[in-house]
Amino acid sequence: MNTKPAISLIIPCNNEERNLRPLVAAIQSAIEPLALAYEIIITDDASQDDSWEIIKRLAAGDPRIRGQRLASNCGQSAAIWAGIKAAHGRYLVTMDADLQNDPADLPKFIEALKRFDCVCGTRIQSRSLGDNFTKRASSRIANWVRNTVSGDTMSDIACCFRAFRRECVEDLRFFQGMHRLLPMLLRMEGYTVSEIAVTHRPRLSGSTHYGIWDRLWPALHDLMAVCWMKKRRLRYLIAEKVNL
């Protein structure tokens, strides 16, 4: 690409071969009317289907589509972080590859970034249209546990449809499970975080990667670590400088 993108869309992918082409087409339809340079970065987390072959074909047809494949299955946090490190855009947008996030919501995120450093999607109003009872219950439990322990007020921590300024994550160190707690970590660093309602569509192809227990226990473990970090965080203010 000759033009540095304003927006980098970062998409972790694991066994989503039937969703990738319609997802990319939907992103292009939503973002091209904004007249902003963009790139789409898809990180294949060692899929066992034809996801990587499809990513290579998509990239061959459009240089704005960039792909990378992890050597082994490392999880969603690792795939997101690999995408962030590969991104060139001023604004970064993370979203899932399963087509449950609706790219038509992208203009709302871009508009909200004029007022906030990070904007998180919340599916509270639309989740009943896209998920079964088990997924809705696991999400409610995870949100309740997180907010009870941390004192935070985010309504949908499991929604990875987010947009944030590049500088928000430049100094962060990612860890497994961090994608769930990113808004809390950004607030700790002094960035402004807001939520906007997003569409949540039913999954039409592939299968979910999470259930109640693999959401709750890892999230609780990570949450305790972040609460410790929040309590022990260094705080200081420079009073004067010389030769700096």
Higher pLDDT, 230 or 239: 239
CA distance 41 to 27: 12
Q: What is the mean pLDDT of residues 212-231?
A: 63
CB atoms within 10 A of CB 192: 13
pTM: 0.78
Domains detected in the chain: 7-232 (3.90.550.10)
Count of H helices and E strands in the chain?
8, 7
Task: Convert the pLDDT of each residue in 106-139 to its tens digit.
Answer: 999 999 999 999 999 998 765 555 455 556 555 6
pLDDT at 168: 94
pLDDT given at position 62: 96
Residue 187's pLDDT is 86
